Structure 1
Amino acid sequence: MPAIPLPPYAPDVASADAAVSGVARNVLPRADGYGPVLSPVPITLPLPEDCRGAVAFVSPAFGTWVYIAGTRTGLYRYNNSTTGWDSIGNPLRGYSMPDGDSWQFALYGSKLIAVHLGAPPQVLEVDGVQPFRDLGGGPPRARAVGIVGEFLVLAGLSGQPNAIRWSDLGNPEFWQPGLYPEHTADIQIFPEGGAVTGFSGGEFGIVFQERSIRRLTFNPGSRQVFDTSLVEDNRGAVAPWAICKVGARTFFLDRDGFYLFTGGISSPIGAERVNRAFLAAVDPRRLGQTIAVRDVYGPRVIFGYRTAAADPDRKALLDAGLVYDWQLDRWSALSLSVTAGLATATPPVSLDALPGTLESQVLSFDDSSYLGGIPALGFITSDNRLSLLTGPPLEATVETADAMLARPNRSFARSVRLDSDAEDWRAQVGGRESLARNVAVGWRPETAPTVERRAPCRSSARYHRVRVRIPAGTSWSYATAVEVDATAEGMR
């Protein structure tokens, strides 16, 4: 019997004969199948309450990684010596975060800017010892922040939702508009397109509205300072924290699904694959809380979202995820409860934090692993700890599509073999007589492989599918196909 490839994940589409799969959980897409997702390993003590946004960056002065996290009432900095979180919030101001809001951060030189709608923009001198303070110049409260050239840009403004504001050139603490040419701080109001819902910076800015996408380009010597051009109409972003820029690519979430923007017309990346399944599962009241995080290990972006079944007492909890590989143009699903995500690197190891005695350490103290800086994907998990995805693989589950193993006859399946280097795996075979929606798949008991590396089964049906489960902690790097040992039966 020919091997049945483990197909691309596309739960929106009915499948037969190995076209697509409706289940690919805790795996990463590969050109030949799937690979493992590593489990989160906590590296910090818990934050005092649910995280509402986090960021990681390299200190401009010291070259070490800095982790900042925000909650509903405070801002915190990771302390490498204690593995705890030091409070660095503004001692002169309380942070009254609206429900459903979150901190957003932008690094402007050595200044870290933090915004949400419940407080004026905050600034931290990242290489200093002072806590956050109000950003000077009287900037408005905003939901989103970004940097275009030497301008600090605020979007999603309190009181002016359809406008953006930018600082003076080279001075993020000067905001008084109308003083051109001495100063370039100003405001741009968009009469059409709805409220500004997100912003992405860089060499030029991308302004996302409810129903429009605009390009913001610096025009030196112009009274308008920036040229704003309408790039796309009737398309916008619904979640400010699900806007993820990777090089020339910007990923975002609109009300009908996921898109990729590269400067021209945005391209749908989830249509007829994951959009319907996502919109059926996500809590519609918390759609705007969806986040996007770049995967430092490969050409992927991870979207975390809150389902309707999430804990109602944990309003910041995101209990499901989707992985998109833009090189392969393939998806997979992720079961991981988090409150924030960040592309980061491993921190340096403090001698005080080493287990055991100094004499018992295996590695030399000049080993490079103690210095940290190894790229890692980080999440604030449901226990409010910063965790890096560096542990053993999570439990993985993949299903094939329905297949007629002896077309046009029925077939009897006896065993299954998995093409994989997994040390351990389990298989479950299901069968049904029709592809009609009201005909359920009848699953046989899950079995482990024998010494011949075949998992026995006994299933007689017209259509068969195989569910493969690789237990948590199992060492593996690829799974590409399943081979079913089956014989033809009659037409009925």
Structure 2
Amino acid sequence: MPATPLAPYAPDVASVDATVSAVARNVVPRADGYAPILSPVPITIALPAACRGAVAVISPRFGTPVYFAGTGTKLYRSLGRGEWVDVSNAARTYSMPTDDSWQFALYGMQLVAVHLGAPPQVIDVDIEKQFRDLGAGGAFPPPRARLVAVVREYLVLGNLASDPNAVQWSDIGDPASWPLGVQDGHDGDIQSFPDGGAVTGLAGGDGGLLLQERTTRRMDFAGGEAVFGFTVLEENRGAVSPSAVARVGGRVFFVDRDGFHAFPFAGSSSTPIGAERVNRFFLSRVDPNRIAATLAIRDATGPRMFFAYRLKGAPAADPTVLGEAVVYDWLLDRWAGPVTLSIRAGLVAATPATSIDDIAGSLDDEGQLSLDDATYAGGVPALGMVTSDNRLALFNGDPLEAEFETPDLRPFLPNRAFARGVRLSSDADDWRAAVGGRESLKASDAPVYARERPPNVEGWSPCRVSARVHRARFRIPAGTTWSYATGVEADVVEEGGR
């Protein structure tokens, strides 16, 4: 039989004589199939306590990545070369609620960090050694809030401790000043929404997209005494939590109670990107009591989003660990999954700068790069996550173990078929295959797989499986070098009806 392309991942669809597959594990979509996901490589020591949020920023002055992470009681900074340095406000105790996490926004060179258990914190990324209270000592200090974003020249806070249904913005160009009402040259103000529930997502830019529990609104600059106007875009559509919302260019990706959605930033309605593809799979796997812990993480290495979630039935002793993810490529409009991981936070990351102490060999060695070579500056985009052991890791190691499954195939109905071998179209140095068969599509009639085999010298994984319904499972072992897997060939002949 000619090569059949590896099917797009859509576990919600019945995988019978279909053009979709139910398994594309530890891979990302390509236009012609799938590519590997690289394993995480730790670049720091462990934080002293469970990570409750992290962010990577590029130093405005030096152009190198700087990493910040928060626990329930402290804030830390790292240059990605091992240590975490405590940069907490020495005059402040952070007491984070159990269901909250640190949220960050960069206003110029000032990084603002918020959660409901403390006033907003701020640090100059390049100059200051500790966070401080935003607006401390000023006439108009900011409120405590769960969300923060930059909209035009305003810093905006959402889900206020005093009013979860409200947003409040600073004076223009002055994130330290938070007056209520336009007065005496000030234009900071507050807006509370009587319907839609608590504010659960806030995406900034030239305007703002505001997601509540049950309503989506646009935040547009109006000028004058109003400053901002708010327009309802969708009712009965919102986000489960701040961590489940991410803006990427002109799109805002988010998770609602029914699955995955994307909202064009300049549009008027969302697109259900997971419906009849991965939503039912996700809802069957996620802990329903911890769906708000879902993370929307942009993959800086490509046009992809990772949605990581806490698995149903995971040990209750450590509820902040997320054990699985699905991947969405928005340019291809294709999914892959599941991805096996164990993380607490995700971030848009970049490789750190190289210290002179970390340069292998001597600077006088032949072929050694000069110290001003761009390689040492870091800044190469990378997918970053804080693993379950609280270390910052970049996903730039060896490939994870990958697995694909074909749909159930019935090539000669009503007659049986005899499978003699299968072949994977891939540049993988090593792969294995197992072919399964069954007589019907009944749930009680599970496929019986032949022994997994590597390919022979002709590139075929041999098998001897006689059945009416066949399925092939391919595995590329962890650490194997490969860049693509595109299709499957099958050596199948028709048998009789018995």
Whole-angstrom CA distance in 2 between matches of 1:39 and 1:7: 24
Deviates more, 1:378-387 or 1:363-372: 363-372
One-letter code aligned to 1:19: T
For residue 371 of structure 1, report the CA deviation from its aligned partner: 1.4
Whole-angstrom CA distance in 1 between matches of 2:481 and 2:160: 49
For residue 99 of structure 1, report the CA deviation from its aligned partner: 1.2
Residue 243 of structure 1: aligned partner: 245
For residue 62 of structure 1, report the CA deviation from its aligned partner: 2.0
Residue 202, structure 1, aligned to residue 205, structure 2: yes
Residue 307 of structure 1: aligned partner: 311
Residue 395 of structure 1: aligned partner: 401
Whole-angstrom CA distance in 2 between matches of 1:466 and 1:475: 22
Residue 346 of structure 1: aligned partner: 351
SS at match of 2:262: strand
One-letter code aligned to 1:364: L
One-letter code aligned to 1:267: T
Paired residues of 2:434 and 2:449 also in contact (CA < 8 A): yes
Paired residues of 2:434 and 2:450 also in contact (CA < 8 A): yes
Residue 110 of structure 2: aligned partner: 111
One-letter code aligned to 2:376: Y
Whole-angstrom CA distance in 2 between matches of 1:83 and 1:474: 28
Residue 8 of structure 2: aligned partner: 8
For residue 358 of structure 1, report the CA deviation from its aligned partner: 5.4
Structure 2 residue aligned with 1:144, among 132, 142, 147? 147
For residue 420 of structure 1, report the CA deviation from its aligned partner: 0.6
Residue 417, structure 1, aligned to residue 439, structure 2: no
For residue 383 of structure 1, report the CA deviation from its aligned partner: 2.1
Paired residues of 1:75 and 1:87 also in contact (CA < 8 A): yes
One-letter code aligned to 2:216: I
SS at match of 1:39: strand
Q: How many residue pairs end up in the alignment?
A: 490
Whole-angstrom CA distance in 1 between matches of 2:359 and 2:344: 28
Residue 485 of structure 1: aligned partner: 491
Structure 2 counterparts to residues 128-167 of structure 1, below 5 A:
128-136=127-135, 137-167=140-170
Residue 77 of structure 2: aligned partner: 77
For residue 378 of structure 1, report the CA deviation from its aligned partner: 0.9
Structure 2 length normalisation: TM-score? Answer: 0.95
Structure 2 counterparts to residues 177-216 of structure 1, below 5 A:
177-180=180-183, 182-216=185-219
- Encode CA deviations 1:45-80: one digit per residue, 9 max, x unaligned: 111122111111111222221111111111100045
For residue 315 of structure 1, report the CA deviation from its aligned partner: 2.1
Whole-angstrom CA distance in 2 between matches of 1:49 and 1:71: 6
Residue 283 of structure 1: aligned partner: 287
Would the alpha carbon gap of residues 286 and 321 (structure 1) be closer, same or farther in structure 2, given more than 3 Å must change?
same
Whole-angstrom CA distance in 2 between matches of 1:83 and 1:323: 29
SS at match of 1:241: helix
Residue 32 of structure 2: aligned partner: 32
Residue 296 of structure 1: aligned partner: 300
Would the alpha carbon gap of residues 16 and 289 (structure 1) be closer, same or farther in structure 2, given more than 3 Å must change?
same
For residue 361 of structure 1, report the CA deviation from its aligned partner: 8.9
SS at match of 1:258: strand
Paired residues of 1:6 and 1:18 also in contact (CA < 8 A): no
Would the alpha carbon gap of residues 359 and 471 (structure 1) be closer, same or farther in structure 2, given more than 3 Å must change?
farther
SS at match of 1:268: coil
Whole-angstrom CA distance in 1 between matches of 2:287 and 2:28: 25
Structure 2 counterparts to residues 224-239 of structure 1, below 5 A:
224-239=226-241
- Encode CA deviations 1:295-345: one digit per residue, 9 max, x unaligned: 112111111111123332222211111100111111111111111111121
Structure 2 counterparts to residues 324-473 of structure 1, below 5 A:
324-333=328-337, 334-354=339-359, 363-366=368-371, 367-473=373-479
- Encode CA deviations 1:165-210: one digit per residue, 9 max, x unaligned: 1111111111120243611111001111111111111110011011
Paired residues of 2:435 and 2:465 also in contact (CA < 8 A): yes
One-letter code aligned to 1:37: I
Would the alpha carbon gap of residues 356 and 48 (structure 1) be closer, same or farther in structure 2, given more than 3 Å must change?
farther
Paired residues of 1:258 and 1:268 also in contact (CA < 8 A): yes
Unpaired stretches in structure 1, ≥5 consecutive residues: none
Whole-angstrom CA distance in 2 between matches of 1:205 and 1:316: 29
SS at match of 1:219: strand
Whole-angstrom CA distance in 2 between matches of 1:130 and 1:155: 27
Paired residues of 2:65 and 2:79 also in contact (CA < 8 A): no
One-letter code aligned to 2:478: A
SS at match of 1:416: strand
For residue 357 of structure 1, report the CA deviation from its aligned partner: 5.8
* CA RMSD in angstroms, aligned pairs only: 1.5
Structure 1 length normalisation: TM-score? Answer: 0.97
Whole-angstrom CA distance in 2 between matches of 1:148 and 1:127: 23
Paired residues of 1:18 and 1:400 also in contact (CA < 8 A): no
- Encode CA deviations 1:423-463: one digit per residue, 9 max, x unaligned: 10000111111122222111111111111111111111111
Would the alpha carbon gap of residues 29 and 281 (structure 1) be closer, same or farther in structure 2, given more than 3 Å must change?
same
Residue 272, structure 1, aligned to residue 271, structure 2: no
Paired residues of 2:418 and 2:465 also in contact (CA < 8 A): yes
Paired residues of 1:349 and 1:370 also in contact (CA < 8 A): yes
Unpaired stretches in structure 2, ≥5 consecutive residues: none
Residue 48 of structure 1: aligned partner: 48
Deviates more, 1:353-362 or 1:11-20: 353-362
One-letter code aligned to 1:402: D
Whole-angstrom CA distance in 1 between matches of 2:489 and 2:368: 44
Paired residues of 1:68 and 1:76 also in contact (CA < 8 A): yes
One-letter code aligned to 1:474: T
Residue 261 of structure 1: aligned partner: 263
Whole-angstrom CA distance in 2 between matches of 1:428 and 1:360: 50
Paired residues of 1:17 and 1:401 also in contact (CA < 8 A): yes
One-letter code aligned to 1:261: F
Structure 2 residue aligned with 1:323, among 327, 345, 363? 327
Would the alpha carbon gap of residues 348 and 217 (structure 1) be closer, same or farther in structure 2, given more than 3 Å must change?
same
For residue 354 of structure 1, report the CA deviation from its aligned partner: 3.7
For residue 213 of structure 1, report the CA deviation from its aligned partner: 0.3
One-letter code aligned to 1:31: A
- Identical residues among aligned pairs (%): 58
Whole-angstrom CA distance in 2 between matches of 1:45 and 1:353: 16
Paired residues of 1:4 and 1:400 also in contact (CA < 8 A): no
- Encode CA deviations 1:22-63: one digit per residue, 9 max, x unaligned: 111101111111111111111111111221111111112222
Would the alpha carbon gap of residues 427 and 361 (structure 1) be closer, same or farther in structure 2, given more than 3 Å must change?
farther
- Encode CA deviations 1:137-178: one digit per residue, 9 max, x unaligned: 421211111010011111111130111111111111111202
One-letter code aligned to 2:15: S
Whole-angstrom CA distance in 2 between matches of 1:155 and 1:209: 10
